[in-house]
A and B are shown apart, each in its own frame.
Chain A
Amino acid sequence: MATIIGGITTSHIPAIGGAIASGKQEEPYWKPLFDGYPPVHEWLAEQQPDVAVVFYNDHGLNWFVDAMPTFSVGAADLYANADEGWGLPELPSFPGHPGLSWHIIESLVEDSFDVVMCQEMVVDHGLVVPYQLLWGSDERPVQVVPICVNTVLHPMPRPDRCHALGQAVGRAIEAFPGNEKVVVLGTGGLSHQLDGERAGFINKDFDLQCMDAIVNDPNWIAKHSILDLVELSGAQGVELVLWLAMRGSLLGDVTELHRNYHIPISNTGAGLMLLGNR
């Protein structure tokens, strides 16, 4: 059976993609962010996962508000990156694992999560920037299974549902007849708000509380409503539900192996966590 070796959460701020493209990693503004990643790189080099199941949100590349699925799962051989409209370079496509994708889809529907299934899907910075941060811009050592959660248009799925979705995904992966080593990613966050008079809102205390709770008490986060998260974490800080989905998939003994937190990157409290699952 496939094994979930651990989980990683990381912010996916588009400006990080810009900084990588222009080689700014050592500049004083960017260094505190990029310096957080080497321990995760070492862990990945040691563990050699085959597949990354990625909980992320689309920001108006694959999905538009004409039809907005709450949960959608990629089941493609290959996921292309594409122009998002603001000049980030388009990166080489990401190989998928359609066998595992379909297994997860079938298992989720059986488990009462009636997801949208996507045999074609383009992926934006929500998946691409984390992949760049973890494996580089051009290397493609792991196959991906993208799982997209609507955080664009209200009503958005309740945090406890996102947590339960993650648990169902975890059960599905563990029942997959293969030898794959799987790492699960939750991208986005932490607190940030781009729109309204409260633009620029960052809540360090809440972010740090959530980083602790992701390890030891995810149900505490799951008890919040989406509007609670908007209030405490900012209008776009609701991406925290993607961290929660990742955490849900870790069904074993979970230990924190590494974390980094830095304010500000762009308008965001940038967070990184590495969790082991045994």
Chain B
Amino acid sequence: MTATREIPGTPLFNANASRRGYALNTMCYSFNHETNREQFTADPVAYCHRYGLSDEMIELVKAADVLALVKSGGSIYYLAKLAGILGWDVQDVGAQQTGMTKEEFQAMLVAAGS
């Protein structure tokens, strides 16, 4: 039994997602180590191949398309480590997924407090 509910704009990281994203998340988990981050930066495609990512997934990694990676089974906690390599904070990540500029995204957050 899997509890499901459609919550708009909210992908759940569950069994289905974790199975699809296993290779991707395994790679991102490796980024806890600086030597691995350096190796990824030196040759991202070769690094992705080492973790068995599909060609389709590699394209998404190269494009740093966070929303597509999430929908392909990436967990945001592990993808955050990829974002870290790119020098992105969670507001960059949020802006990209919502199609806003970072300034617009930050303004939305501020508005939530008023």
Contact = CB atoms under 8 A, between A and B. Distances in A.
Interface of A: 15, 59-61, 64-66, 82-87, 152-155, 193-204, 225-227, 230-231, 235-236, 262-264, 266-267, 269
Contacts of B67: 196-197
A194 B93 contact: yes
A230 B81 CA distance: 22
Given A84-B32, A267-B94, A196 B109 contact: no
A264 B90 CA distance: 12
A194 B80 CA distance: 9
Interface of B: 2-3, 5, 7-15, 18, 22, 25-26, 28-29, 31-34, 37, 66-67, 70, 75-81, 83-85, 89-91, 93-94, 97-98, 105-106, 108-110, 112-113
A204 B9 CA distance: 19
A64 B89 contact: no
Nearest to A84: B32
B90 A266 contact: yes
B14 A195 contact: no
Ranked nearest first, the 10 interchain pairs of A and B with the lowest CB-CB distance are A263-B113, A86-B84, A198-B9, A197-B9, A85-B81, A202-B112, A264-B109, A195-B76, A154-B14, A199-B94
Contacts of B93: 194, 199
A230 B105 contact: no
Nearest to A151: B77
Contacts of A230: 7, 10, 12
A193 B84 contact: no
A264 B76 contact: no
A153 B42 CA distance: 31
Given A85-B84, A235-B12, A267-B94, A196 B70 contact: yes
B114 to A, nearest CB: 8
B25 to A, nearest CB: 6
Contacts of A266: 89-91
B109 to A, nearest CB: 4
A202 B81 CA distance: 23
18 contacts: A60-B75, A65-B25, A83-B34, A153-B13, A153-B18, A195-B10, A195-B97, A196-B9, A199-B97, A201-B9, A204-B112, A235-B11, A236-B76, A263-B112, A266-B89, A267-B91, A267-B94, A269-B113
Contacts of B34: 83
Given A85-B37, A264-B109, A60 B10 contact: no
The A interface, classified by DSSP as helix, strand, loop or mixed, is loop
Given A194-B94, A227-B5, A235-B10, A83 B32 contact: yes
B63 to A, nearest CB: 17
A235 B13 CA distance: 9
Given A194-B94, A197-B98, A202-B112, A84 B10 contact: no
Contacts of A197: 8-9, 67, 97-98
A199 B98 contact: yes
B76 A262 contact: no
A213 B31 CA distance: 39
Contact of A86 (B2, B10, B80): B80
Contact of B29 (A60, A154, A200, A226): A60
A204 B113 contact: yes
A80 B113 CA distance: 36
A154 B13 contact: yes
